[in-house]
Amino acid sequence: MKKLIFLLTLLCGFNSFAQQTQMVSDSVTFKSADGRITFGGTFSKPLGLKSFPTVIIISGTGKQDRDGTMAGHKIFLEIASYLNAHGVAVLRTDDRGLGKTTGVYETATTEDFANDALDAITYLNGRKDIDRKKIGLLGHSEGGAVIALAAEKSKAVRFLISLAGLAMSGFDAQIKQNEDLVNHSALPDYDKRRSNEINRIMFETALKFADSDSMEVKLNDAYKAWKIKDDAYFKTLNIKFDHFRFPIYSYSKNATSPWYRYFIKYNAEQTISKIKVPILALNGDKDLMVAADENLLNWKKFALAGGNRKVMTIKLPGLNHLFLACTTCDNAESVKIKTGFSETALTVIKDWIAKNVR
C-alpha cells in the first residue's frame, strides 16, 4: 500500500525544517536468500528526483520494529522521515519474529543479521527505481557490527553509517559496557568492585569456552569459586546485610545461546579492516552502552589499517545511546525524555551523504 505524503514540517518534531518535500511510502515484503524468512518493512523515497541514495536501517540488540521503537521513541521513523525530506530513500524492516517479519530472533546471530541486511539489498536491487551504486547501511548499536560484517561480505554495500555502532570486539564491548553501567550506578563502591570482578570472570570464561558444550558448567564452576572468595571478602567489611547478587542462572542461559557464543568472539578489527567504502561514525558522549571514545577511535584505526581513509568520526555532546539529549543519561531516563532524535546528528548524516554518496 502506497501513501503519498506532503511534508511541510517533519512528523517527528523537527520544527526547524520548513521546506516542502514530497515522498512516497510503501509497505513491502521480500524473502531471504534461502526462502525461509519473509521480511516486512517500509520503503519510503523522495519524489521528483531521478537519482538518490538509499539507506537501509539496521537495528541493535533486542527485537525492534521497523519504526525503531525504543523507550517510547520511534527512532528509525524519525531518521527515515528526515532523510526522505532531504532527498534520501530509506528501507526499514521489522526484526525477525516481529511485526510482518517471520523467523526466530532468539536463535539468530550477529552474522545472521548481516545476511538479513544483504537480503534487503538484494530486494532493493530488484526495484527499477533504485540506483544500485548508492545503497548504504545505517546501523545502531550492535547494528554497527552487523553493517561491518555485511560490508565485508558484499561489494553491494556502498557506504556505512554507524550510530553508536559497535567497533570493539565482543569481549571488550562486554567488559566496557558493564563497567560503565556499574560505575555510573548508585551501588556502593565495594559492590561496584565486586560486580566488575565477577563480570570480568564470567566474560573471560564465556570467551574461553565459547565453542564448548561445557560452557554452562564452566561458568557455574567459575562463579562458585569466586563466591567462596567473595563471601570471605564481604565478612571483612563488617556490614550486616549483603544485598549484592549476581544472576548466574540467567547469565549462563544467555551465554550459551547461539547469539552470545558468536558475539563474544566477534573480531571488530579483522572485520572493519576489510571495509573499503566511506564510513560515517557518530556517538553521543553520554552513551553508557557503546562507549564513544573507544568505538569511534576503532572505526578510524581499524579502517585505516586496511587502507581505508574515507572515515569520518564525530562525538556529539550531551547525547545518550539513543541520541537523545539527556541529564542523568542512564537507561531509565530515556522514556522520560520528551525531545526526539538529535537534529544535530541528523544534519551531520544528511550533509555527509550529500558529500560522499551523490
**Do 6 and 90 form a contact (C-beta atoms < 8 A)?**
no
Q: Is 300 found in the same domain as 249?
A: no
In the chain the first and final C-alpha atoms are separated, in Å, by 29
Q: Is 277 found in the same domain as 182?
A: no
How far is 236 from 52, CA to CA, in rounded Å? 66
Q: Is 57 found in the same domain as 18?
A: yes
How far is 181 from 166, CA to CA, in rounded Å? 16
Q: Is 249 found in the same domain as 276?
A: no
Segments in the chain forming alpha helices (H): 75-85, 110-125, 143-153, 170-184, 189-208, 215-235, 248-255, 258-265, 268-272, 292-305, 343-356
Q: Is 148 found in the same domain as 103?
A: yes
Backbone angles phi, psi at 278, to 5 degrees: -60, 140
State the residue range of the domain holding 232.
Answer: 170-264
Q: Is 15 found in the same domain as 134?
A: yes
Strands 159-163 and 69-70: unpaired
Q: Is 192 found in the same domain as 129?
A: no
The rounded percent of the chain whose pLDDT value lies above 70 is 94
pLDDT of the residue at 46: 92
pTM of the model: 0.91
Q: Is 155 found in the same domain as 13?
A: yes
Q: Which residues of the chain have pLDDT under 50?
A: 1-20
Burial track 206-239 (b if 16+ CB lie within 10 A, e otherwise): bbebbeeeebbebbeebbeebeeebeeeeeeeee
Domains of the chain: total: 2
Q: Is 138 found in the same domain as 31?
A: yes
Residue 18 burial (CB count, 10 A): 9
Q: Is 179 found in the same domain as 123?
A: no
Q: Which of 233, 264, 295 is the last residue of a domain?
A: 264
pLDDT of the residue at 21: 62
pLDDT of the residue at 16: 34
How far is 292 from 141, CA to CA, in rounded Å? 11
Q: Is 163 found in the same domain as 288?
A: yes
Read off the CATH number of the domain in which 302 is found: 3.40.50.1820
The crossing angle, in degrees rounded to 10, of helices 189-208 and 248-255 is 30
Q: Which of 264, 292, 317 is the last residue of a domain?
A: 264
Q: Is 288 found in the same domain as 254?
A: no
pLDDT tens digits along 95-144 = 999 999 999 999 999 999 999 999 999 999 999 999 999 999 999 999 99
Amino acid at 51: S
**Do 185 and 161 form a contact (C-beta atoms < 8 A)?**
no
Amino acid at 246: F
pLDDT of the residue at 23: 83
Rg (CA), the chain: 21
Q: Which of 211, 240, 264 is the last residue of a domain?
A: 264
